[in-house]
Amino acid sequence: MKVTDKAVVSIHYTLTNDEGETIDSSAGHDPLDYIQGVGNIIPGLERALADKAVGDKLQVTIEAVDGYGEFNPELVQELPRSMFEGVDNIEVGMAFHAQTAAGTQVVEVMEVDGDTVTINGNHALAGQRLHFDVEVTAIREATEDELSHGHVHSAGGCGHDH
């Protein structure tokens, strides 16, 4: 079986940046399971895995536009501390869910300067070229439930009713 749309694909991977530093890896863990063609993984990696088979190994470089997008300076904003009502201690690196015109978005605190808090709504890997070392370990057909939910289910189900 080949990697095709609507297939559940299991991969082991190591993700590095341009400097060769490991950002993420499945080494020592279960493989990553995803459904091909539904946007579970970044577009560039999904395209690179199309038509691969179990046992195939590949090294692929993904430009930012096909990964987590280019860094968007408009997603960096300065907000008054009063916008964080109920949070006594705001620190750099804290993440919050914010309601935006595009829906709920995760923002990270970049800087705290007195009563001004600078937040960043870009993904942590936005603007970066990504290097993947990938091995396809399994491929199977997705179930109807998995396809309707848009994600892979474990042996015990997915824990929600819709």
Distance CA 27, CA 20 (A): 16
CA distances from 27 to 24, 52, 62, 160 (A): 9, 20, 20, 29
**Of 79, 71, 67, 69, nearest in space to 15 by CA:** 67
70-99 pLDDT, tens digit per residue, is: 999 999 999 999 988 888 899 999 999 887
Domains of the chain: 7-68+126-149 (3.10.50.40), 73-120 (2.40.10.330)
Distance CA 90, CA 157 (A): 37
Checking if the pLDDT of 30 tops 90, the result is yes
> Model-level pTM?
0.81
57-66 pLDDT, tens digit per residue, is: 999 999 999 9
**Of 86, 85, 108, 88, nearest in space to 97 by CA:** 108
For 86, the token pair is 């109920």
